[in-house]
């Protein structure tokens, strides 16, 4: 057993020594989203919190060059839950060592994207999972990494709309007197 | 069974040294230090490829045999790549007459028109080929841009750089690939 462990350790060391091609690990992560309660037929924003790993930046949703890849959230199609406007934060104008004279509009650290969710009146009350992807393209101070898709998911709790039947004053018998 | 403590110390020292070297090498790459190709690649014949140029011609790396080649993997969305390009334009002019050729490989999802527009804006004076994942894989995987390989006149790999570096690093590698200079760093 000890010999196997020693061999494994040596292999690990050898790998660390020869592995010199950098690769992008998890640059952007998503915090667990709160379960937002939304009434049937009403719209409410769902805040999604993301974090860009230290030392990296990603383009904002509105980068300053047509060639740069914007950060964009795409939510999968849902039948009775309408996904409305997605609100992105403004990026920070920053310059980097590789382009000191050029300002890039980027996200670093924590940023929040709000997704407007509106369940139709026909949706049954209960919890629903919504899924999507955050597309981003990360760079550090000296290199860039190919675009990536971060799977995104959040739950919404659909509450019944309050009953209004029979209470409409316009249809009250008193209104026609 | 009694074990000689000296052997244990020796083994521990070797493991520690290898770990240190591994971590040091990884940090150096992250920092973007000069990086001759690893022992696995250096001296090996650069993998040949057949890629289409922006003009629609099929271009092979072996077409440039006899010339020193700087093979630059880049993309339109890569900021550091944009910084290198003007240097490459100058270096092509400066060293081209000595048998040096820069070849750009666009690892891009952008349309050919957009890539052409970008390279025109940058005044690129060397061939741009439309990259394929398989070609990147044949070079050990192009996971970061820019990634630049230096190939000597015999078609053998002499150096590789990940990320942006100073212009002088490129000049050193170009001289090396032309057979004019010493290896920038005798790492291995």
Look at residue B181 and tell me whether its pLDDT is greater than 90: no
Sequence-ordered alpha helix ranges (H) in chain A: 2-18
Q: What is the mean pLDDT of residues B4-20?
A: 62
Look at residue B24 and tell me whether its pLDDT is greater than 50: no
Strand partners, B100: B68
pLDDT at A24: 62
d(CA B142, CA B127): 19
B interface test, pick of A15, A63, A66, A143 with most B CB neighbours within 10 Å: A143
Q: What is the mean pLDDT of chain A?
A: 83
Asked if B162 is an interface residue toward chain A (Cβ–Cβ < 8 A), one would say: yes
Look at residue A168 and tell me whether its pLDDT is greater than 80: no
Look at residue A81 and tell me whether its pLDDT is greater than 80: yes
Does a structural domain hold residue A54?
yes
Q: What is the mean pLDDT of residues B113-136?
A: 96
- Among A56-60, B13-17, B172-176, B183-187, the range scoring the smallest mean pLDDT is B183-187
Interaxial angle between packed helices B5-31 and A2-18, expressed in degrees from 0 to 180 and rounded to the nearest 10: 30
pLDDT tens digits, one per residue of B161-175:
999 998 999 999 999
Answer with the residue of higher pLDDT: A107 or A174: A107
Look at residue B160 and tell me whether its pLDDT is greater than 80: yes
Does a structural domain hold residue A19?
no
Q: What is the mean pLDDT of residues B70-76?
A: 98
pLDDT at B122: 95
Interaxial angle between packed helices B167-177 and B79-95, expressed in degrees from 0 to 180 and rounded to the nearest 10: 40
Answer for the pair B158, B172: CB distance below 8 angstroms, yes or no.
no
Locate A12 and state its tokens. Answer: 């690990």
Does a structural domain hold residue A177?
no
Answer for the pair B104, A53: CB distance below 8 angstroms, yes or no.
no
Does a structural domain hold residue A99?
yes
Coil vs helix vs strand at B100: strand
Does a structural domain hold residue A20?
no
Asked if B136 is an interface residue toward chain A (Cβ–Cβ < 8 A), one would say: no
Locate A37 and state its tokens. Answer: 């309660």
pLDDT at A103: 84
Closest chain B residue by Cα to residue A20:
B26
Does a structural domain hold residue A103?
yes
What are residue A57's phi and psi, to 5 degrees? -140, 155
- Among A22-26, A33-37, A97-101, B184-188, the range scoring the smallest mean pLDDT is B184-188
Does a structural domain hold residue A9?
no
* A126 φψ region: left (φ > 0), alpha (ψ -120 to 50), beta (else): left
Give the count of Cβ contacts less than 8 A between chain A and B.
106
d(CA A106, CA A92): 5
pLDDT at A22: 65
pLDDT at A65: 87
Does a structural domain hold residue A7?
no
pLDDT at A101: 76
Look at residue A173 and tell me whether its pLDDT is greater than 50: no
Locate B148 and state its tokens. Answer: 């630049």
Q: Residue B76: its chain A contacts at CB < 8 A?
A: 67
Q: What is the CATH number of the domain that holds A53?
A: 2.60.40.1250
Domain ranges within chain B, ordered by starting residue: 1-31, 36-177
What is the distance, to the nearest Å, from the Cα of residue B116 to the centroid of all Cα atoms in its chain? 22
Answer for the pair B68, B156: CB distance below 8 angstroms, yes or no.
no
Architecture of the domain delimited by B36-177: 3-Layer(aba) Sandwich (3.40)
Look at residue B18 and tell me whether its pLDDT is greater than 60: no
pLDDT at B161: 94
Domain that holds residue A145: 29-158
Report the number of distinct structural domains present in chain A.
Answer: 1
Exposure b/e, B71-109, CB count within 10 A at least 16 = b: bbbbbbbbbbbbbbbeebbebbeebeeeebbbbbbbbbe
Sequence-ordered alpha helix ranges (H) in chain B: 5-31, 79-95, 112-121, 133-138, 167-177
d(CA A125, CA A141): 48
CA distance B109 to chain A (A): 10
């Amino acid at each position: 057993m000890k010999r196997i462990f020693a061999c494994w350790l040596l292999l690990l060391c050898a790998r660390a020594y020869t592995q010199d091609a950098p690769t992008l690990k998890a640059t952007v992560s998503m915090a667990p989203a709160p379960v937002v309660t939304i009434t049937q037929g009403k719209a409410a924003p769902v805040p999604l919190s993301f974090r860009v790993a230290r030392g990296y930046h990603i383009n904002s949703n509105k980068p300053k060059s047509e060639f740069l890849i914007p950060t964009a959230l795409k939510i999968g199609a849902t039948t009775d839950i309408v996904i409305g406007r997605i609100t992105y934060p403004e990026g920070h104008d920053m310059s980097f060592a590789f382009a000191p004279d050029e300002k890039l509009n980027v996200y670093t650290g924590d940023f929040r994207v709000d997704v407007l969710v509106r369940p139709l009146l026909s949706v049954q009350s209960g919890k629903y999972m919504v899924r999507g992807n955050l597309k981003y393209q990360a760079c550090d101070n000296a290199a860039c990494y190919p675009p990536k898709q971060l799977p995104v998911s959040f739950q919404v709790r659909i509450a019944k709309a309050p009953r209004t039947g029979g209470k409409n004053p316009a249809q009250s018998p008193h209104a026609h007197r | 069974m009694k074990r000689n403590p000296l052997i244990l110390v020796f083994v521990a020292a070797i493991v520690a040294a290898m770990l240190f070297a591994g971590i040091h090498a990884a940090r150096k790459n992250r920092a973007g230090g000069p990086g001759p190709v690893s022992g696995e690649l250096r001296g090996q014949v650069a993998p040949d490829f057949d890629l289409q140029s922006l003009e629609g011609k099929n271009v092979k790396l072996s077409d440039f045999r006899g010339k020193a080649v700087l093979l630059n993997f880049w993309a339109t969305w890569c900021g550091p790549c944009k910084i290198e390009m003007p240097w490459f334009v100058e270096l092509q002019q400066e060293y081209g007459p000595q048998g040096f050729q820069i070849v750009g490989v666009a690892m891009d999802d952008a349309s050919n028109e957009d890539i052409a527009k970008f390279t025109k804006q940058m005044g690129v004076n060397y061939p741009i080929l439309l990259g394929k994942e398989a070609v990147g894989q044949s070079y050990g995987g192009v996971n970061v841009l820019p990634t630049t390989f230096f190939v000597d006149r015999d078609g053998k790999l002499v150096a590789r750089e990940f990320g942006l570096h100073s212009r002088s690093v490129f000049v050193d590698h170009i001289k090396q690939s032309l057979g004019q200079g010493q290896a920038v760093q005798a790492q291995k």
